[in-house]
């Protein structure tokens, strides 16, 4: 029994592990939706455009959820929730890869030369690609083995997720610039800033707490 009355019982890593399959299925919702829409004629007149945009949005959603894990576990005082973070991060990577493959196939016709031209000539593609490169590194080093091997550098490396998130929102912003239609990129930007502020406040409080000792 916990002695600190108000504190909830801490979930064990095993307990959190049990809901992982459920989270996995929920994270596959976008794919199931695409398949459903595909068979019911719901992808509209321009399915490639729909899928490229949709995968990009879901990549951003998964990235925000990944970054929400730490604030969440502190808020509900359940550190074991961190066990869901890697899976969500890998889903962000998964949807980003689909987004990239959609662009490579439907916009650039698998032509490497044409892809390179796009990356070099267009700022929003450049920014998107710059965001993707460190994402590969994070996905590769997401295993227990790499965590062990990298030791304290692992966390330093994985802090680049903030840079990736910032670049992703910037990429989305640039995409929408043509239509002066910034509501969505703005909303994701605000979510991101709130998630970062939460961390800052936490760090400042921790320092304050140490200072009083």
Partner 1 sequence: APLPATPNPEYWLSSRQTSEKDITSYNNFYEFGTGKTDPMRHAGAMQTRPWTVAIEGEVAKPRTFDIDDLLKLASLEERIYRLRCVEAWSMVIPWSGYSLATLLKQVEPTSKAKYVEFVTAVQPEAMPGLNDRIIDWPYVEGLRIDEAMHPLTMLVFGVYGKMLPNQNGAPVRMAIPWKYGFKSGKSIVKIRLRETMPVTSWVGIAPNEYGFYANVNPAVPHPRWSQATERRIGDGFFAPRVDTLMYNGYADQVASLYAGMDLAKNY
Residues of this chain that interact with partner 1 (CB under 8 A) are 44-49, 106-107, 109, 114, 117-118, 121-122, 124, 174-175, 177-181
Between 8 and 48, CB nearer to partner 1? 48
CA distance 92 to 68: 13
Report, in Å, the least distance between residue 181 CB and partner 1.
5
Between 89 and 185, CB nearer to partner 1? 185
Report, in Å, the least distance between residue 47 CB and partner 1.
6
CA distance 93 to 80: 22
Between 63 and 115, CB nearer to partner 1? 115
Over the range 186-198, which residues count as b (16 or more CB within 10 Å of their CB) and which as e?
A: eebbebbeebeeb
With CA atoms as reference, report the closest residue to 141 among 119, 121, 126, 156: 156
Report, in Å, the least distance between residue 136 CB and partner 1.
25
Between 6 and 45, CB nearer to partner 1? 45
DSSP H helices, the chain, are 13-27, 29-39, 47-75, 85-102, 112-121, 123-140, 144-150, 152-158, 161-177, 183-212
- Token digits of residue 36: 């459903």
Report, in Å, the least distance between residue 182 CB and partner 1.
10
Between 30 and 128, CB nearer to partner 1? 128
Report, in Å, the least distance between residue 100 CB and partner 1.
16
């Amino acid at each position: 029994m916990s002695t600190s009355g108000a504190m909830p019982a801490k979930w064990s890593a095993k307990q959190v592990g049990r809901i992982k399959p459920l989270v996995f299925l929920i994270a596959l919702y976008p794919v199931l939706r695409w398949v459903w829409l595909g068979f019911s004629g719901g992808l509209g007149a321009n399915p490639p455009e729909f899928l490229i945009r949709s995968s990009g949005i879901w990549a951003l959603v998964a990235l925000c959820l990944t970054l929400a894990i730490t604030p969440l576990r502190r808020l509900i005082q359940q550190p074991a929730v961190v066990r869901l973070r890697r899976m969500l991060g890998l889903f962000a990577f998964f949807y980003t890869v689909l987004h990239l493959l959609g662009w490579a196939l439907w916009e650039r016709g698998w032509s490497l030369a044409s892809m390179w031209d796009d990356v070099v000539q267009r700022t929003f593609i450049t920014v998107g690609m710059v965001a993707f490169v460190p994402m590969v590194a994070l996905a590769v080093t997401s295993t227990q083995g790499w965590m062990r091997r990298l030791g304290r550098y692992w966390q330093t490396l994985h802090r680049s997720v903030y840079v990736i998130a910032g670049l992703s929102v910037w990429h989305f912003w640039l995409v929408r610039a043509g239509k002066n239609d910034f509501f969505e990129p703005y909303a994701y930007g605000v979510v991101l800033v709130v998630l970062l502020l939460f961390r800052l406040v936490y760090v400042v409080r921790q320092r304050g707490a140490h200072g009083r000792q």
